[in-house]
Structure 1
Amino acid sequence: MIIGAGSEFTMRFILYISVILLLGGCNPLTKEQRELIASLKERELPAWYDDAKLGIFIHWGPYTVPAFAPTENHVHDTFLNHYENSSVHVPYAEWYWNALQNGEGATYDYHIDNFGEEYPYQQFGYDFQQAVSQWDPDAWAEQFAAAGAKYVVLTTKHHDGFLLWPSAHQNPNDHQWYSERDLVGELAAAVRARGMKFGIYYSGGFDWMWNQEGFGRNITELIAGTPTDAGYGNYVEAHFRELVERYEPSVLWNDISYPGGGNLWPLVSDYYEMVPDGVINDRFSDMNPIALMLRNPSLRALADKVIKYILKLNGGDMTAFMAVGLQPHYDFKTREYVDISSIDHQKWEATRGLGLSFAYNQNETEENLLSDKELIEGFIDTVSKNGNMLVNIAVKANGDIPDSQTQRLDALGEWLASNGEGIYGTRPWERAQGETAEGEAVRFTKRDNVLYAIIFDVTRRDELRLLDISESNISSISLLSYGLTEWRQERGDLIVALPNEFDFNGPLTVAIELE
């Protein structure tokens, strides 16, 4: 289901009102906090992020050792049609520990069959430590740069709480629950050496090592298990400050929520001071009041009813219940495995794996993965609507990238090598999409005085007719990777010649230069 701006607003409004009714109000911001947030909101989005368009996401941790999740359903289908046990059946391999702890389902059966009942999830942390000794960060960086990526975001801590850097702040429930090898620092150096920006993902909401009672079968049970103690807020803040001071990431990509006691807005202010071109996403909202409320069984049952109703409205997008976009300031908003139908004038980022899972899932087949065509066209569609795409590459525990992933990256990189002019540094035009007279889909971008029309599935012929392009100030038209071509306007349409010697592969980009 594609969510338009109107239905998204409706869904978030219902969610917000429902939460307010259930909570009876949340802790108000102080005058000092309001003033600080107001100053942060005056800051403009750094141009590099708007220009970049393509980022690479990496989910890497102990969960890549078993590397398993069920593949019967898309994530939204899982939450929409199997709500009661959705978190057990979700196709995300990075949620392995949660599915295992619930003692049922495909993941649990897989674990018993392959590792045995006495093999705890924590053992995967030690297995992962051994596996990463083989990793070559430069090989990753080369692959990502060749794909045309301009930034890379690494999971420094996912929901299992395992740290990918040797932190001075260790989990009190397992002082060895971190990587002795500085995976974060090594990748940051390799990425930057090739001209890309480096960012960090951090799960501020869920931490199943910190709260080992925090597992759940569905959304409300998981949120109820969010750590809400002051110690966890201090722990998260210490991690963010350490990551910022040590690695100066250009992106802070938090997930689920940020603990209420974590002094968020002074942290963000200090981050901007240290990294002037840094950006933050929209998943830093304080969910502690909601977590505390959902620990009441009666209120949780009521919330389940509200959530199931909203899932029917939004096609199963469960990120709506992670307080996404409810914080008073952020640089870009996130959409997870979601497309939109029109331009969003607020900067946003589409994120998804090449398959059903973010983390490597050996259970996935070619049928579960985007085709080259779907990846390229989905990326173009996102850019035309003011989005970046943060596409996740599923890597194995030892750092190997499966051929099925590199093949798709290579295809995207090859297309961008010839057509990147119509992507990087562009902004949305007055509309995102159109079509040719033959019904081929068209997406538009614009940079300075050049309008780009990117046409999907172009068939070989002498000319193509772009409907409803009646600009009166066209000075020239060229085909990217070919050069100037003949053109004419007729009855409000633009007709562009396709030379016989022009060999196009994939979406065709027409550059329309305006006077």
Structure 2
Amino acid sequence: MTPSTTVALPVWAQEASLGIFIHWGPYSVPAWAEPTGAWGAIPPETWFAHNAYAEWYANTIRIEGSPAAEHHKATFGDVPYETFLDQWRAEKYDPASWAALFQSICADYVIPVTKHHDGITLWEAPGTADLNTVVRGPRQDLLAPLAEAVRAVGIRFGVYYSGGLDWAFTSYPPITSMEEVDLFRPTDAAYAEYATAHVRDLIDRFKPSVIWNDIDWPDAGRADGSLTELLEHYRQLVPDGIVNDRWGADVWDYRTSEYSHDTHNESGIGWEHNRGLGFSFGYNQIENLELTMSTQEIAKLYADVVSRGGRLLLNVGPTAAGEIPDVQLRSLTGLAPWIQNVKPYTIQRRPAQPSDDIKITGDGWSRAWVSGKNLVVIADDFEKVRIDAGALEVVAISLPVQDGTD
């Protein structure tokens, strides 16, 4: 299978500008990570023992001497990670309220984690025995009601799946380096069959608009042709579905970047930048207002990504109970009126080109793109920005204020 090009992206994906990522799992019970900084900005030799991703808790607590290991020992003693699955209740889970929030900020698609690296699935995936949320913990399929809720308000539904790592399926030592991510990745035929059955079940159940695989695909599944067969099945069932670029094979429809990592992929049209509202994807109780993106910071990131031809996949990390944390909710609700004003001007958009004869100068922060016959300019202070739009008509939109209000 050869890689798709951005030209071949379906219309919905070309028009989309904002997706919502959802990282929710047993890691939301301890909800702890050291907020060291952004992935890609921290040296790899430092990152794993000081991992800012709360969803990596199961790995980080196994690294002797890591702050997470010390925190776990002091807070939970020798309780194994799997215990958090039983403590996870999701008692306040209200997918309709999530969908209403995502609709208010004009999200085009929603991608929940269906299985992260801990190997625990949010639906009764084939072969998982009791490592799923139907048999233990919440004791319900957490995906189906969310798919129904977001689709009911006109938002597309996608799925994230960790094809490359599964700590419940393997018994490797903890990952402490980038080299060990690949070294401790299950690659055998048994795991390929297991992962393939999961993704095929997701395809058949949900017909997702996006399949967002993470950290490669088992080697055996690439070698025996089962990955090709799996994605052919997907293309037949969901003709306008798309897949990302993390399969270890040329099967992608679009490229991704994450925080400060893989930013070389941010070129052309149709790429996707993903990040959390803090340094973590999974809920991290340490991430207070100071460590969470403000409404204005989200707006600036969104405008920057859109102006360069990309889509923003912005993550929320619910609490174990199923609530969007107040610090995240504050920023997102503050974004709603601003993005509702901007969103119509993201249709038929493209980055400005030299042939447009556009010139934007001055000392203020600004980003711009072309939408139809309009030059859309987002700026923090239009008194500090001078715009020569050529033959285009200027649509000037100020950034929302910093504190989260419009």
Say which of 227, 242, 247 aligns to 1:264.
227
In structure 2, the CA distance between the partners of 1:435 and 1:369, relative to structure 1 (3 Å rule), is farther
Q: Decide which moves more: 219-228 or 83-92.
A: 83-92
* Preserved contact between residue 272 and residue 278 of structure 1 (Cα < 8 Å): yes
**Bigger Rg, which one:** 1
- Is this contact kept in 2: 1:355–1:370, CA < 8 A? yes
- Seen in structure 2, the aligned counterparts of structure 1 residues 400 and 240 have a Cα distance that, compared at 3 Å, is same
- Equivalent pair of 2:278/2:293 in contact (CA under 8 Å): yes
1:232 aligns with 2:126: no
TM-score by length of 1: 0.71
Aligned amino acid, residue 23 of structure 2: H
Seen in structure 2, the aligned counterparts of structure 1 residues 373 and 477 have a Cα distance that, compared at 3 Å, is closer
Aligned runs of 1:425-436 on 2, under 5 Å? 425-430=348-353, 436=360
% identical aligned pairs: 35
Q: CA deviation at 1:156?
A: 0.2
Name 1:184's counterpart in structure 2. 143
- Which deviates further from its counterpart, 339-348 or 95-104? 339-348
RMSD: 2.5
8 Å CA contact 1:335, 1:349 repeated in 2: yes
2:400 aligned with 1:441, yes or no? Answer: no
Work out which of the residue numbers 13, 23, 28 in structure 2 matches 1:49.
Answer: 13
Aligned partner letter, 1:336: E
How much does 1:126 deviate? 1.0
Which secondary structure does the structure 1 equivalent of 2:382 belong to?
coil
Partner in structure 1 of residue 404 of structure 2? none
SS in 1 for 2:103: helix
Give the C-alpha shift of residue 127 in structure 1. 1.0
Q: Distance in 2 between matches of 1:273 and 1:343?
A: 29
- Corresponding residue number in structure 1 for 2:55: 94
CA contact (8 A) 1:434 1:442 kept: no
Q: Which residue of 2 aligns with 1:280?
A: 243
User: How many pairs does the alignment contain?
Assistant: 390
Which residue of 1 is the match for residue 211 of structure 2?
252
What is aligned with 1:154?
A: 112
Letter in 1 for 2:382: V
Q: Is the 8 A contact 2:162 2:215 kept in 1?
A: yes
In structure 1, how many angstroms separate the alpha carbons of the residues matched to 2:177 and 2:200? 32
Q: Secondary structure at the match of 1:101?
A: coil
- Contact 2:377 / 2:394 at 8 angstroms: preserved in 1? no
1:129-208 equivalent positions in 2, closer than 5 A? 131-170=89-128, 175-180=129-134, 181-208=140-167
Unaligned runs of 5+ in 1: 1-36, 286-326, 481-503, 508-515
Tell me the distance in 2 between the aligned counterparts of 1:377 and 1:369: 14
Measure the CA separation in 2 of the matches of 1:466 and 1:39: 39
- Residues 4-41 of structure 1 show CA distances to partners (whole Å, capped at 9, x for unaligned) of xxxxxxxxxxxxxxxxxxxxxxxxxxxxxxxxx24966
Where does the alignment leave 5 or more consecutive residues of structure 2 unmatched? 135-139, 402-406
Q: 1:380 to 1:41 in 2, by over 3 A?
A: closer
Closer, same or farther: CA 257–177 of 1 in aligned 2, 3 Å: same
Instruction: Read off the aligned partner of 1:107 and give its amino acid letter.
Output: A
Alignment-mate amino acid for residue 449 of structure 1 = K
Partner of 2:86: 126
Deviations 1:466-508 (A, max 9, x none): 15x4x2x45x55556xxxxxxxxxxxxxxxxxxxxxxx6639x
* 1:89 partner letter: H
Give the distance between the partners of 2:107 and 2:310, measured in 1 at CA: 14
Which residue of the partner structure matches residue 313 of structure 1? none
Deviations 1:196-218 (A, max 9, x none): 00000000001000012152111
Deviation at 1:336, TM superposition (A): 0.2
Q: Distance in 1 between matches of 2:376 and 2:282?
A: 35
Task: Rate the CA distance shift 1:479–1:352 in 2: closer, same or farther, 3 A.
Answer: closer
Structure 2 Cα separation of the partners of residues 139 and 400 of structure 1: 10
- Return the letter of the residue paired with 2:13: Y
Q: Call closer, same or farther: CA 1:433–1:283 in 2, change over 3 Å.
A: farther
More contact order relative to length (CA 8 Å, sep ≥ 6): 2
The separation in 2 between residues aligned to 1:231 and 1:120, in whole angstroms, is 25
Give the direction of change, closer, same or farther, for the CA distance of 1:428–1:343 in structure 2 (3 Å limit): farther
CA contact (8 A) 2:378 2:399 kept: no
Distance 1:48 1:279 in 2: 10
**1:74 partner letter:** A
d(CA) in 1 for partners of 2:80 and 2:3? 47
Deviation, structure 1 residue 71: 1.4
When normalised by structure 2's length, the TM-score is 0.89
